[in-house]
């Protein structure tokens, strides 16, 4: 499974919490790239509930880690 910020962004508005199958359905309906669907299909199919992207991608950076505010002059 290989995630990037761009791929993870396709699940930003997903119906969290969700099961693997709900996330796959959401990704298909919203036209997410094939890589997103492949990553989701690699998750265990055991009715686990995923609360957020961090449950799927443990190294998912927080907004503070990849966004910063520029000071205005």
pLDDT tens digits for 51-68? 999 999 988 886 665 555
Please, are residues 56 and 43 in contact by the beta-carbon 8 Å criterion?
A: yes
Please, are residues 26 and 18 in contact by the beta-carbon 8 Å criterion?
A: yes
Q: Is the model's pTM score more than 0.85? A: no
Q: How many CB atoms lie within 10 A of CB 49?
A: 11
- The number of C-alpha atoms within 13 Å of 53 and in the hemisphere containing its C-beta is 18
- What are the backbone angles phi and psi of residue 59, rounded to the nearest 5°? -90, 10
pLDDT digits (tens, 9 = 90+) for 10-30: 999 999 999 999 999 999 999
């Amino acid at each position: 499974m290989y995630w990037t910020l761009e791929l993870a962004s396709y699940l930003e508005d997903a119906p969290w919490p969700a099961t693997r199958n709900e996330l796959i359905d959401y990704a298909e309906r919203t036209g997410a790239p094939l890589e997103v669907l492949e990553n989701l299909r690699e998750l265990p199919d055991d009715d686990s509930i995923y609360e957020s992207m961090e449950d799927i991608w443990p190294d998912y950076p927080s907004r503070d880690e990849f966004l910063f505010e520029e000071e205005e002059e």
